[in-house]
Structure 1
Amino acid sequence: MSTTDYDVVVIGAGPAGLAAAISARKAGAGRVLAIERDSKPGGILNQCIHNGFGLITFKEELTGPEYAARFEDQAAEAGVELLLNTMVLDISGQRVVTCVSESEGLRQISAGAIVLAMGCRERPRGALNIPGFRPAGIYTAGTAQRLVNIEGLLPGREVVILGSGDIGLIMARRMTLEGAHVACVAELMPYSGGLKRNIVQCLDDFGIPLLLSHTVTRVEGQKRVEAVWISEVDEHRRPIPGTEKRYPCDTLLLSVGLIPENELSRSAGVELSPVTHGPSVNEHFETSVPGVFACGNVLHVHDLVDYVSQEATSAGKAAAEWAAGGSAADAARHNLPVFAEGGVRYTVPQTLDPSLMDSETTLRFRVSDVFEDRRISVYVDDERIVSKRRPILVPGQMEQVTLKREDLLARPNASKITVKLEEA
């Protein structure tokens, strides 16, 4: 078994992994390696051929592959090493990465610091408890996206989509453009899980109905999907008897949520948030395991890839400093926990040390419901230090607030930070 040493090893070469690796190199890390299980870098962006990426990062509208290509070029220019077609099996407490590939077999790689950037996966049908057989024609929206955009295959002609996440909304438009008929998009919640722009551009513009507070309660067909039954649900998300309606179809696409890919994180002993199901991190995106950092959708599911790149850049820089034995590695920490209350589901990061943070730190979060005319407030103990008014907040859109280091250092006896929604 061969062993190699690197300053920083990044697990995953999607948008988060590439940005973290580039940042680590720019921050002075000597040897930086990104390990990717696929045959090419770029991650999920390679199959996202629609536009809308890069408006924040590059100030222009790009497709997913175009956005990924720019970071691939930057990684090559920065001297980032790539290891493709390679599966990571284990991360030890001493930051030794065990991986395997067809070309090189089993290999161990010792790292000064590790960045977790494995992305997320889709929630499958098995998590939904939908009665019926297991016929052909049921796909996750991401699988259907790959079939259409990469493989050039059309999964079906008469389609029903369950879940209004962004991938499901985008696939409603994509399937329509490819000649299929999308009967409807059913959503369990009383609000959509996707961005407003995707609801307008992917459903409204094509006359595709969005059925809020509805879910699939039965799948017909043994060899192939023949129809699905959709029922209205009550405030407890339980189907209401007598509201069932049958939709003939040959394809059911599921867009019912994304789950951070954290099997490696869990086996490495990283503490996970019960809300995001990703690692709990501090202001440097360092996990509970010293020298192990996390960024991107493995940390929490993002709405915009530009935010992924921003967080990954910070994580890569911090990893390089740790590997070099800098302040992030050696300083004794005084963590202030960040609490989410009053309609705020979670925050990332979950702890802050004012003495170690940069001049400003961005807290990102999602809300638990649709709220109108609210004020986003940040308290240090009982003193409000940030307040901004928002006309509407929705779960499908990530929110953020910026904290200044000087504001926190001015309160040396603080015990906690709280982010909450208040009446405007």
Structure 2
Amino acid sequence: MHDLIVIGGGPAGLAAAVAAYENGIKDILIIERDQRLGGILNQCIHNGFGLHYFKEELTGPEYAARFIKKIQETDVKVLLDTMVLEVSEEKEVHVVNKEQGYQILKTKAIVFAMGCRERTRGAIGIAGSRPAGVFTAGAAQRYVNMEGYLVGKKVIILGSGDIGLIMARRMTLEGAEVLACIEVMPYSGGLTRNIVQCLDDYDIPLYLSHTITEIRGKNRVEQVVVAEVDEKRQPVAGTEQTFDCDTILLSVGLIPENELSRDANLDLDLKTNGPFVYENMETSIPGIFACGNVVHVHDLVDFVTEESIKAGTAAATYVLEEEKELSNAISVKNGDHVTYAVPQTIRKENIDRRVEVFFRVNQVFDDSQILIKSKGEVLAKQKKSYIVPGEMEKVKLSKKVLEKVTDGDLEICVEEVSKR
């Protein structure tokens, strides 16, 4: 019987395990399906990590190495090259690897830190033939940065998520020609800094409100047809452009790895595709916690780390202390122009001073304000000069504000500030 099992050895799992260890529990096991710790950070050789948490600029492998070193300085056990097949509500973790075979491991608490996966061509249904040369941006990143393969020489990128933007720059630096980045929405899905540093600095055009309508090629991609889309994201006849290329990289969204969450019968949020969580990252099953991209897709690994420390600390508290009955809960609702908010439920008794709520909007705002409402009454507001869907926002709710919520519901809204 372990005190804690952490599923996933990426940035979320590493931070959660370190936090749990530092808060008093010692029998901790990290299970990672890859052959090394670090997760997606191992292939992210660009810099820009760590500015918030470490207050310095690091590459992905450097950021991961900091936490791997912390793990190595503890008694935390690690199972690599091991696949978790199932997690039961009774906290039994079914795993398999080539050395120990099939095992059922029992534990007092679990932290889900499995990260997320990319949407593929099949998920978005692009018409045309099925030639070689179509990759997800993350797969291409691994081929180029870890395996040493250049995946193409004339590249079109569909979608403007951060991985796609970063790969536009990476492919250019490796000698490929990136012809364009195509985005179906009227705004980019990535961070502003990545648009500037990865597209603008290399004169790579970004086509907003466009999509690929056809892929042509027999053995390898030869051409793609790109068309403008209307407000309903339907192609507009007569706007087609044809690009000669040999490679398409897809950066069309990330999905939390939620199969284990479903198997464990956790309550899932249809907006995030991850589990519902409380203010301490506990899920709907007591003793099972979740953090990082398995809950909702983050922009910055620094925020993943902060959230995972919260989950690891709460898991340690769960193991070491008797569980308290907490009934004074507030449901966090998505108000006007808000796509989702995390955590979805806040228990007032668990808040000492304040709680952070992360959310995303569904349109671009310039001068605007974030409103915290309950029963239509505005409890707090915060002005913002710029909010975009591609960048996660957060608000800090004080205990004083939470005490004003009497009916159990709190709503987060965003609205434009009228100019006079």
TM range (shorter): over 0.9
1:73 aligned to 2:69? yes
> Equivalent residue for 1:127?
123
1:231 aligned to 2:213? no
- Give the 5 Å matches for 1:32-71: 32-71=28-67
- Give the 5 Å matches for 1:74-113: 74-113=70-109
Alpha-carbon distance in 1 for matches of 2:392, 2:76: 30
Alpha-carbon distance in 2 for matches of 1:122, 1:67: 22
Q: 2:399 aligns with which of 398, 401, 405?
A: 405
Q: CA deviation at 1:303?
A: 0.3
Q: CA deviation at 1:139?
A: 0.2
Q: 2:415 aligns with which of 398, 413, 422?
A: 422
1:349 aligned to 2:343? yes
On the 8 A contact 2:13/2:308 being kept in 1, the answer is: yes
Cα offsets for 1:343-363 (capped at 9, x unmatched):
111110001111122422100
Q: CA deviation at 1:335?
A: 1.6
On the 8 A contact 2:366/2:416 being kept in 1, the answer is: no
Cα offsets for 1:174-219 (capped at 9, x unmatched):
0000000000000000000000000000000000000000000000
On the 8 A contact 2:380/2:401 being kept in 1, the answer is: no
The one-letter code of the counterpart of 2:384 is R
> Equivalent residue for 1:279?
275
- Give the 5 Å matches for 1:167-246: 167-246=163-242
- Give the 5 Å matches for 1:156-167: 156-167=152-163
Q: CA deviation at 1:83?
A: 0.8
RMSD: 1.1
On the 8 A contact 1:345/1:365 being kept in 2, the answer is: yes
Percent of aligned pairs with the same amino acid: 54
> Equivalent residue for 1:334?
328
> Equivalent residue for 2:8?
12
The one-letter code of the counterpart of 1:387 is K
Cα offsets for 1:82-136 (capped at 9, x unmatched):
1100000111111010100111111111111100000000000001111111110
Alpha-carbon distance in 1 for matches of 2:375, 2:74: 43
On the 8 A contact 2:363/2:389 being kept in 1, the answer is: yes
On the 8 A contact 1:53/1:62 being kept in 2, the answer is: yes
Cα offsets for 1:307-358 (capped at 9, x unmatched):
00000000011111112234xx332332210011111111100011111224
The more displaced of 374-383 and 260-269 is 374-383
The one-letter code of the counterpart of 1:377 is L
Cα offsets for 1:47-92 (capped at 9, x unmatched):
0000000000100000000000001111222322111000001111
Alpha-carbon distance in 2 for matches of 1:233, 1:394: 20
Secondary structure at 1:347's aligned position in 2?
A: strand
The one-letter code of the counterpart of 2:77 is E
Q: CA deviation at 1:404?
A: 1.5
- Give the 5 Å matches for 1:263-342: 263-326=259-322, 329-342=323-336
> Equivalent residue for 2:386?
392
Secondary structure at 2:48's aligned position in 1?
A: strand
The one-letter code of the counterpart of 1:413 is T
> Equivalent residue for 1:155?
151
The one-letter code of the counterpart of 1:161 is I
Alpha-carbon distance in 1 for matches of 2:401, 2:72: 39
On the 8 A contact 1:381/1:415 being kept in 2, the answer is: no
The one-letter code of the counterpart of 1:415 is G
The alignment's TM-score, normalised by the length of structure 1, stands at 0.97
Q: 2:369 aligns with which of 371, 375, 379?
A: 375
CA distance change for structure 1 residues 183 and 423 in 2, over 3 Å: closer, same or farther? Answer: closer
Q: CA deviation at 1:412?
A: 6.8
> Equivalent residue for 2:356?
362
Alpha-carbon distance in 1 for matches of 2:91, 2:275: 17
The more displaced of 284-293 and 378-387 is 378-387
Cα offsets for 1:369-413 (capped at 9, x unmatched):
11121101112334433211111110010000001124323x373
Alpha-carbon distance in 2 for matches of 1:134, 1:333: 54
Alpha-carbon distance in 1 for matches of 2:149, 2:43: 13
Count of residue correspondences: 417
Alpha-carbon distance in 1 for matches of 2:204, 2:406: 55
Alpha-carbon distance in 2 for matches of 1:346, 1:258: 15
Q: CA deviation at 1:138?
A: 0.3
On the 8 A contact 1:49/1:65 being kept in 2, the answer is: yes
Alpha-carbon distance in 1 for matches of 2:415, 2:119: 33
Cα offsets for 1:257-281 (capped at 9, x unmatched):
0000000000100111010000011
The alignment's TM-score, normalised by the length of structure 2, stands at 0.97
CA distance change for structure 1 residues 235 and 59 in 2, over 3 Å: closer, same or farther? Answer: same
